Structure 1
Amino acid sequence: MKKLMAALLAVAMVCAMAIPAFAAGGAGATTGEGKITIDNAVIGHTYKIYRILNLQYNDTAKSFRYEKNDKWGAFVEEQTAYLSVDSTTGVVTWANSDNADNGTAIKALAVAAGQYVKDQGTALTADDFKEATSSTVIFDNLPLGWYLVVSDLTSDAICSIDTTAKEVTIKEKNGVPTVTKEVEYASGSWGQGNDGNVGDTVNFQTTIYVTDGNPTNYVLHDKMSNGLTFKEDSIAVKVNDTTPITNYTVKYTNTDKCTFEISFPNGTLHTNDKVVVTYSATINSNAVVGTAGNENETWLKYGNNGETTHGKTKTYTWSFNIFKYFTDSNNDMRYLANVEFVLYRKNADDKAEYAKFDSNNNNNKLTGWTETKDDATRLTTNATSTVTVEGLDEGTYFLKEITTPDGFNGLTSDVEVQIDSSCNTLNGATYMVQYKMVNEEGFTDTDDEEKVVPIENKRGTTLPGTGGIGTTIFYVVGGGLMVAAAILLITKKRMENH
């Protein structure tokens, strides 16, 4: 009995390493007065208790007596390295003779008990279970005994035993922190995808849920694709939605090739904290255009070797093609070269902002905007292919023709181009392009794959030429004047004869 008491008291020294755990009702307690409290419980997870051994206690003699019960009898009898069972009375005593090794032994016994619960499945019912709705879970009115406390957080099993009190408190330390990653696709709205113009600022939000009982060595990693440029002065950290903190360090050059990492000193974060990290990036000229997207990846390293699953977002930017053509005498559509035009959009004040493109890029990738039309990039058509513009956000754009080749009529109005997208999720992003003349009512869809906007220039000039209808009008008016003059002459002569 002295060995058992020594073992139980020694194991109490391991209390800093909690769930799953053993706990016992204590001296002087009567049946139904036992209580197990779990601190730092992880909200949303379920905790179960199993009474492995029954406990009888004589308050007068200060005597303990552990016995196997029917549910756990087979398991207890198999643990010969740790427990000894009297085949006649069912009394259980501690069998490990190495008192210095009791902490390791009791942990191994707890691990074995946790595995036994898994192996038995539904055949072994818990004595009680509760889902954590706060950071504290309490099991009370328990009969005295030696209990296994498990959760659905981990298969690990570590111990905490105290036989000197009827109430036992266990500190949860086996939770697994999680990370969620989001990007702002509209003001105040967050999801896993968004789109924008090259040059636009993109806002990201990473949320760390601290669900382990001993948050140590927390390092947040973030890796941006080549199409995103991190803004180093943009990081802000809040805990539990309200409290800004600055107790962290940031590194920008890392061996794992991430863009940056944020380290939180031990003691900064606590169990059940919600940590929100916000930061920004710019869509740059290396951005991938289309539905492949530009990825941002985040993960958390913690503890000794822990690492969360990786959270990801994608940022998209779009393009469309312009087909300038004329119809020849055979009624065939042919490329029309040397047409110059500019692309513009309208800002919140309904003023035009003209696009500037990378002239060294055959696909004319956007580089910025100007309010001066003369500073805009003039896009020039050729006789063999369409003209591509890329790096555009969802929205409405206009094409204004500046120069028209000799022999062709210029456009009488601008062309309106509408880009619509669906990209607020990580996968399956889509976009469509529609077009119309500004003075028309209905839009026309482009092909889903090619995204080609066709614009025709008619042959001829904007003013009628010699020999056309203008000459006819001259003849008709001239003829009319001659008739009027003859009538006046005849009338005058008749008046003179009278």
Structure 2
Amino acid sequence: MRKPNKLVALIFAILASIAMLLPTSAYAAKGTNNDNGSITINNAEPEHTYNAYQVLVLESYDTEAGAYSYKANEDWADWLAKQTQYVSIDGQGYVTWKEGADVAAFAKAALAHATEAKIAAKATKTADSATVSFTGLNLGYYLVDTTVGTLCSLNTTTPNVTMVEKNEVPPVEKKVQEDSDQQWGDTSTAEIGDTVPFQTTITANKGAQNYVLHDAMSAGLTLNPESVTVAGLTKGADATSGDYHVVTSGLQDGCTFEIIFHQSYLDTINAETTITVNYTAVLNENAVIAGDGNTNMTRLEYGDGHKTVWDDTKTYTYKVDVVKTDGDNKVLDGAEFKLYDAETGGNEIPLVKVSDGVYRFAKDGEQAVGTITTVNGQLEIKGFDANTTYWLEETKAPEGYNKLAGRVQIAIKNANLDATVDGGIWQNGGVHIINNTGSELPSTGGIGTAIFYALGGALVLGAIVFLSRKRVK
């Protein structure tokens, strides 16, 4: 499993309005606004942008007396007048915070308004180190937004404030289920035609924004579109219904599907929450045999268009080489077989012809061949699951050779069963099947027919001689 990368999340810090109720300075201060405010952000994320929005202007303050005089910033005045659940504004335009109002909800609404109304930030900086500093700020009530997703505030009781970027990024983890033991892990094995379960978990935090889960499958996997579900959430037909919707067509980024989480759902997350996504895919005829396996990749897009790195799983399938020879290991052609899942009885395994001498496991609904036939004494069968056992039954032996009395075992582990044939001679590996032949059986009893053939020939010869002499006379 890959280590989770940092993911954009909007983490709301308690805004400075709380200071109007409870002083938080370590010492008393008072004064008027002289544009000497500063914000220092520690643990900043390099290459991410930080924006400071001044929602309120602080005219004057006295921390000892607990007195603060706020008015709306001109860009925010009309919007603030409508936010009566959070603030009250008197006849002179002074703003006070309503006791018990939801600070986090106010911060989220303020940021949404800033985006929608295209309100310019009072200050903007892109981090080039772990520290970002804004200086020379007009004192007030500030909201700090970052492309990492954290919201901060300026403590207006003291003009200089230090904040810490939380960087609490929900991890994204992808797993695939192994059919032999039902365990979830980074790899699995399967037969061609099997349905393979996948699972992705996102650990989301309060303030999650713009979550889109991207999933890409390699050519050997076929998604079952209706299988995509998010545990405990309601799937919508589009962005107007449910908690999320799934897109499987028209994607331009090479993804197989995308899950778009609706902001109305993300806004309900108030604590660490595990989002579990389940879906299945069929291992198909294009499956990579052994080697690099068949890949399923997932990543999360979040916030301001940022993306995590891909986390992936691998599903493997295997092939078996079958070589038919005589007792001297010379290949024999013309043998025909069927594949079963038991030494006697059992179920015939449907196979599809890929090319001469090459077959694979059939998917549901595919027309299977009756028997599989060797070419140059060899067969290749693709699509075996690991740690499985099958049995080959010979239905037709090469001409002049005895048909096998019983089925031949094929035991697959976690690798191909590859055979080496050189110059028509089996060297090693694979499933080696030997046919025997006997010499011509001897005739039984009496003198047989040979004596009659010899006697007849003598009589004919005598007649020819007699007639020749008679003509001469």
- Identity fraction in percent: 30
Decide whether aligned partners of structure 1 residues 353 and 434 sit closer, same or farther in structure 2, where only a CA change above 3 A counts: farther
Aligned residue type for 1:56: Y
Q: Which amino acid aligns with 2:248?
A: Y
TM-score by length of 2: 0.57
- Whole-Å separation in 1 of the counterparts to 2:297 and 2:28: 57
Residue 28 of structure 2 is aligned with which of 32, 45, 57? 57
Aligned residue number for residue 206 of structure 1 = 200
Residues in 1 aligned to 2:364 and 2:200: alpha-carbon distance in whole angstroms: 31
CA–CA distance in 2 between the matches of 1:346 and 1:322? 18
Equivalent residue, structure 2, for 1:326 = 326
Structure 2 distance, partners of 1:369, 1:453, is 27
Looking at structure 2, the residues matched to 432 and 289 of structure 1 have their Cα atoms a distance apart, in angstroms, of: 8
Give yes or no for the alignment of 1:302 onto 2:302: yes
Name 2:311's counterpart in structure 1: 311
* Residue 162 of structure 1, CA deviation: 3.0
Does the residue aligned with 1:197 lie in a helix, a strand or coil? Answer: coil
Aligned-partner residue type, residue 345 of structure 1: D
How far has the Cα of 1:368 moved from its partner?
4.9
Alpha-carbon separation, structure 1, partners of 2:350 and 2:282 = 17
- Residue 181 of structure 1 and its aligned partner are, at CA, apart by 1.0
Task: Give the conservation status (yes or no) of the 8 Å contact 2:148–2:167.
Answer: no
What is the match of residue 79 of structure 1?
none
1:65-88 deviations in Å (ceiling 9; x for gaps): xxxxxxx9xxxxxxxxxxxxxxxx
Query: Which residue of the partner structure matches residue 357 of structure 1?
Result: 351
Which residue of 348, 362, 375 maps to 1:367? 362
Q: Do the aligned partners of 2:323 and 2:433 also contact (CA within 8 Å) in 1?
A: yes
Number of the residue aligned with 2:247: 251
Q: CA deviation at 1:268?
A: 0.8
381, 385, 391: which one pairs with 1:389?
A: 381
CA distance in 1, matches of 2:260, 2:245: 5
- Tell me if structure 1 keeps the 8 A contact 2:338–2:393: yes
Aligned equivalents of 1:301, 1:28: Cα separation in 2: 39
CA 1:183/1:284 → structure 2, altered by over 3 Å: closer, same or farther?
A: same
| Corresponding residue number in structure 2 for 1:291 | 291
- Distance in structure 2 (CA, Å) of the matches to 1:112 and 1:21: 26
Instruction: Assess if the C-alpha contact under 8 Å between 1:323 and 1:452 holds in 2.
Output: yes
State the 1:408 CA deviation.
1.7
| More off after superposition, 286-295 vs 197-206 | 286-295
Change (3 A) 1:19 1:278: same
* Cα 1:260/1:451, change in 2 over 3 Å: farther
Distance 1:21 1:178 in 2: 27
CA distance in 2, matches of 1:194, 1:113: 42
Q: With the length of structure 1 as denominator, give the TM-score of the two structures.
A: 0.54
1:107–1:157 CA contact under 8 A, matched in 2: no
1:18 & 1:287 partners in 2: Cα distance? Answer: 46
Q: Judge conservation of contact 1:355–1:368 (CA < 8 Å) in 2.
A: no
Q: CA deviation at 1:378?
A: 1.1
1:230 maps onto 2:223 in alignment: yes
Match of residue 191 from structure 2: 197
- Partner Cα distance (1:196, 1:369) in 2: 15
CA contact (8 A) 1:178 1:309 kept: no
Alignment partner of 1:344 out of 340, 345, 349:
340
In the alignment, structure 1 residue 160 sits paired with structure 2 residue 157: no
Q: Distance in 1 between matches of 2:153 and 2:352?
A: 67
Cα displacement (A) at 1:388: 0.5
* Distance (whole Å) between structure 2 residues aligned to residue 157 and residue 369 of structure 1: 50
Q: How do 1:5-44 residues align onto structure 2 when only pairs under 5 Å count? A: 34=24
- Distance of 2:129 and 2:194 partners within structure 1: 57
Shift of 1:342: 0.9
Task: Tell me what 1:180 maps to.
Answer: 173
Pairwise CA RMSD: 4.6
What does the per-residue CA deviation read over 1:329-358, in whole Å, with 9 as the maximum and x for residues that have no partner?
A: xxx4211111111111149xx961212222
Tell me how far 1:230 sits from its aligned partner. Answer: 0.8
Distance apart, 1:398 and its partner CA: 0.3
Aligned to 1:150: none
Secondary structure at the counterpart of residue 245 of structure 1:
coil
